[in-house]
């Protein structure tokens, strides 16, 4: 009971952030105007890159800890409650027991699903945010894109997940997980907008260093650390060849990005509908 109450509090905090910060737009990194030749000093390039990494941690991992992680556990608890007695005690795909909520399972779920996948979603948001509508609508659209593009081929609405044959009804699973995915996208956008306005470039000031302390989590994660190092190389390449940055930031690329997003949505939508139909077909309707 205490674990579920704690998860509910975290989700409530996330919803409050959506309400308070949903109108925030993503700000450009600080550091002054671009020089006429388009190239920045090496140190400023690295500091701006670390600013973006810090922003990913703030909006991605932060939203994961406040929404995807605890929200996913709440949905799982809801599905366990709505499942019949015959489902209680059965083993899920993640080797968890239906009806039993453990501290280790909840913590592991929040860390792996919330933080790890949250970082991936944070990176994805920073890549496509300028192609999204501004304000609250941008967060809603981003959440819907996550739902249509990724929830069926990946999670949480993957039709071949055997758990849908255990718990049900199917419509409860679909509605609960769909709402969670959309809310997660909205929270990522809200936190990114607010955090981009308050996060300074890293400096020798201890208060600034403290704001970047979460990046120490990269040290034990070799793959994540390698990805950050490779990303720094990309940032330096963009700075060395200003034409690349100008093309990326051009209106033509913006139009092409939006068009590609529409095409991807049109292509993904039938697969999303088919996946939902499969879940409804295989799920027990109690």
* Average pLDDT of span 190-196: 94
Residue 97 in this model has a pLDDT that exceeds 60: yes
Label residue 258 by pLDDT band (50, 70, 90). very high
* Average pLDDT of span 80-93: 74
Q: Which two tokens stand for residue 130?
A: 């300028």
List the single range of 49-63, 65-79, 160-174 with lowest mean pLDDT.
160-174
* Average pLDDT of span 130-145: 94
Residue 220 in this model has a pLDDT that exceeds 70: no
Label residue 22 by pLDDT band (50, 70, 90). very high
pLDDT number for residue 221? 62
**What SS3 state is found at 172?**
helix
Handedness of CA 180, 181, 186, 192 (dihedral sign): positive
Q: List the chain domain ranges.
A: 58-199+250-282
pLDDT number for residue 260? 93
**What SS3 state is found at 84?**
coil
Q: What is the pTM of this model?
A: 0.89
pLDDT number for residue 46? 87
CB 119 within 8 A of CB 56: yes
Label residue 214 by pLDDT band (50, 70, 90). confident
Q: Using a pLDDT cut of 70, give the percent of the chain over it.
A: 91
Highest mean pLDDT among 100-114, 239-253, 269-283: 269-283
List the single range of 97-101, 200-204, 205-209, 217-221 with lowest mean pLDDT.
217-221
Give the closest residue to 152 by CA, choosing from 284, 6, 3, 276: 276
CB 186 within 8 A of CB 89: no
- pLDDT higher for 92 or 279? 279
List the single range of 55-59, 91-95, 106-110, 208-212 with lowest mean pLDDT.
91-95
Residue 239 in this model has a pLDDT that exceeds 80: no
Give the closest residue to 115 by CA, choosing from 218, 193, 195: 218
Q: Which two tokens stand for residue 210?
A: 């403290």
pLDDT number for residue 283? 76
User: Rounded mean pLDDT of the chain?
Assistant: 85
């Amino acid at each position: 009971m205490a674990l579920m109450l704690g998860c509910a509090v975290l989700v409530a905090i996330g919803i409050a952030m959506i309400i308070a910060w949903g109108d925030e737009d993503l700000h450009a990194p600080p550091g002054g105007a671009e020089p006429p030749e388009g190239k920045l000093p090496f140190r400023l390039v690295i500091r701006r890159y670390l600013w973006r990494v810090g922003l990913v941690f703030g909006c991605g991992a932060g939203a994961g800890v406040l929404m995807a992680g605890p929200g996913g556990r709440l949905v799982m608890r809801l599905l366990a409650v709505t499942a019949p007695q015959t489902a209680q005690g059965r083993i899920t795909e993640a080797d968890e027991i239906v009806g039993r909520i453990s501290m280790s399972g909840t913590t592991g779920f929040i860390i792996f699903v919330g933080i790890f996948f949250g970082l991936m979603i944070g990176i994805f948001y920073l890549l496509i945010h300028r192609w999204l509508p501004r304000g609250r609508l941008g967060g809603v659209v981003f959440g819907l894109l996550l739902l249509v593009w990724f929830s069926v081929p990946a999670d949480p609405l993957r039709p071949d997940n055997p758990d849908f044959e255990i718990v049900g009804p199917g419509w409860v699973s679909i509605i609960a997980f769909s709402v969670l995915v959309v809310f997660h996208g909205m929270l990522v956008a809200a936190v990114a907008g607010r955090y981009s306005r308050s996060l300074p470039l890293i400096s020798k000031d201890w208060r600034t260093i403290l704001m970047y302390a979460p990046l120490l989590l990269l040290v034990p994660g070799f793959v994540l650390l390698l990805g950050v190092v490779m990303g720094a190389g990309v940032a330096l390449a963009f700075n060395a060849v200003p034409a690349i940055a100008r093309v990326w930031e051009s209106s033509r690329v913006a139009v092409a990005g939006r068009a590609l997003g529409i095409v991807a949505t049109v292509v993904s939508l039938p697969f999303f509908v088919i996946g939902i139909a499969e879940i409804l077909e295989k799920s027990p309707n109690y």
